């Protein structure tokens, strides 16, 4: 993937924390691309309607677009999520600053 496409802030998890952060970003006028990944389509649909974000049901495709990853899942889900991301080819993962 070309770095030009890695320009989005990507939220992994579409729950209340993500909703609150999106509300603040929109209120502050943040206009760069925002992508949200969640395994529940109804959460993605609601966030797309409410905040105008791009939604991505595929974890790998979401991570590929990330300039910045925001992990916003329940604490008991973090380990499994990071394990899945760790299995992606390194070029798909965002680089550390």
**Assessment of whether the complete model's pTM goes beyond 0.75:** yes
pLDDT value of position 93: 54
Q: Which residue has the higher pLDDT, 52 or 2?
A: 52
62 confidence band (pLDDT: 50, 70, 90) = very high
Distance of alpha carbon 28 from alpha carbon 37, whole angstroms: 22
Distance of alpha carbon 52 from alpha carbon 86, whole angstroms: 29
Domain residue ranges of the chain, discontinuous segments joined by + = 3-90
Average pLDDT over residues 63-69: 94
Q: Which pLDDT tens digit goes with each residue over 13-59?
A: 999 999 999 999 999 999 999 999 999 999 999 999 999 999 999 99
- Assign a CATH topology to domain 3-90: Rossmann fold (3.40.50)
């Amino acid at each position: 993937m070309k770095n030009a496409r890695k320009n989005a802030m990507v939220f992994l998890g579409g729950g209340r924390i993500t909703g609150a952060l999106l509300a603040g970003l929109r209120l502050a006028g943040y206009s760069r691309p925002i992508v949200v990944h969640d395994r529940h389509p109804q959460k993605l649909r609601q966030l797309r309607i409410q905040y105008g974000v791009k939604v991505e049901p595929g974890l790998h495709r979401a991570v590929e677009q990330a300039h910045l990853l925001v992990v916003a899942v329940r604490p008991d889900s973090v380990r499994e999520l990071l394990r899945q991301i760790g299995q992606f080819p390194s070029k798909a993962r965002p680089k550390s600053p």
